[in-house]
Amino acid sequence: MTAPVKPTPETLPGSGLCGACKHRRIITSAKGSKFLMCKYHSVDARYSKYPALPMWQCAAFEGESTNSTNLHE
């Protein structure tokens, strides 16, 4: 018996830090284009809903693991 495959969160190539952040959400348009939305915008409006990519520094970044890392505290 094989172990269940854990789904990999969808990301967007070339998105930098946002691509590994748990606050990201990938939006696919009707034409198939993909956009990265920052869900943290709903918590703090200083963060753009659609950040300019690639993002290399972000104080709100949190990694996917349970041991989240905020790189810029």
Task: Annotate each residue in 11-50 with x if it binds ligand SF4 (CB under 6 A) or - if it does not, as one string.
Answer: ------xx--x-xx-------------x-x------x---
Beta strands in the chain (DSSP E): 24-28, 34-38
Minimal distance, residue 9 CB to ligand SF4, in Å:
12
Minimal distance, residue 14 CB to ligand SF4, in Å:
13
CB-CB contact of 38 with 17 (8 Å): no
C-alpha–C-alpha distance, residues 53 and 21, integer Å: 13
Binding site for ligand SF4 (CB under 6 A): 17-18, 21, 23-24, 38, 40, 47, 51, 55, 58, 60-61
